Amino acid sequence: MGRTAYRIVQEALTNARKHAPGAAVAVRVAGAPADRLTVEVHNAPSPGAVSGPDSGEGGGQGLIGLAERARLAGGELSAGPDGGGFRVRAWLPWPAADPVSATDRG
């Protein structure tokens, strides 16, 4: 789950830099064991030139890969325009910690 969350944040930040240069970006990671982890990356509207599928740059393949990665981990991912910017939000299962393996280190 940790690697999947990391990869989602990494790709979303890369996309924000590429498609909304200079825009403010917020990253939120929240959750609890035995519940789920929410990963959210939102960029504000770009103060400069915007690039994206309509400009001939990119085609959403990174987002398709992230959605597949989230699904394979038992979660889901949504992405799309939000308030003039763009938001990527993922929900990943976070299993309860196993008390035996957490304390048995030797």
CA–CA separation, 51 and 19 (whole Å)? 5
Q: Which of 3-17, 34-48, 91-105 has the lowest mean pLDDT?
A: 91-105
How many other C-beta atoms lie within 10 A of the C-beta of residue 88? 26
CA–CA separation, 87 and 66 (whole Å)? 13
- Give, in degrees to the nearest 5, the angle at Cα 88 between 69 and 8: 40
| pTM: predicted TM-score of the whole model, two decimal places | 0.79
15-58 pLDDT per residue, tens: 999 999 999 999 999 999 999 999 999 999 988 766 554 444 55
CA–CA separation, 20 and 64 (whole Å)? 19
